[in-house]
Structure 1
């Protein structure tokens, strides 16, 4: 994910500061920009020679190439990795438009769509 996505997070932080300063209990609102920043900085996909690693905020999972059965296109054009065991792993930052780039990075392991 591009680091420019942190700009709306900074804007969110500026917007919630007045609410957070209203009372000691509303300081909890400052957690929202922190969670959004953690998502922007952590979520992503790494494509290596060993396989595809899907990183989420609190966890990551690597699917080796020999365990990847395919890619499913879900609602809202989201992508899911389908393993040979039948499990599906949501890919948080890629959409259908990213498939040609993913095919290129896979070194031919994922066929390019026409």
Structure 2
């Protein structure tokens, strides 16, 4: 990875297809009465979640992004990764805190290692 680029790991855009079906299903409910219009916010929130949630890796560190927040963990503070019971990954800092890496699973470790530019070791190497 070049030092001036940010790599992103996100959900597949195919996940937007169920969101579109969900939006089509909410249209009759929203059209039934004016007070039901806020129901249309649910598919919009689901689409925002699919497009936003993920992990960014850059020269400044790793950024786990949720729907509303993203906190940069500098590479100097990364102690390692922990694999959870359901194959989810947690970023372990030098202070001992853990941050869940959304969307990334244990099967993604080789790709995560490659995108980190060697800062995260590849367990398959």
The TM-score normalised by the length of structure 1 is 0.91
Task: Name the counterpart of 1:4.
Answer: 14
Residues 75 and 25 (structure 1 numbering): CA distance in 2 closer, same or farther, change over 3 Å? farther
Residue deviations 1:33-92, cap 9 Å, x none? 011011011111111122111111111011111100111111321111111111111111
Task: Name the counterpart of 2:30.
Answer: 20
2:110 aligned with 1:100: yes
2:94 aligned with 1:87: no
Instruction: Calculate the aligned-residue CA RMSD, in Å.
Output: 1.3
Unaligned runs of 5+ in 1: none
Secondary structure, aligned partner of 2:71? strand
Structure number having the greater helix percentage: 1
Task: Name the counterpart of 2:4.
Answer: none
Secondary structure, aligned partner of 1:62? coil
Deviation at 1:27, TM superposition (A): 2.2
Identify the structure with bigger relative contact order (alpha carbons < 8 Å, sequence gap 6+). Answer: 2
Deviation at 1:19, TM superposition (A): 1.8
Matched positions, count? 114
Deviation at 1:31, TM superposition (A): 1.6
Deviation at 1:21, TM superposition (A): 2.0
Secondary structure, aligned partner of 1:89? strand
The TM-score normalised by the length of structure 2 is 0.83
Unaligned runs of 5+ in 2: 1-9
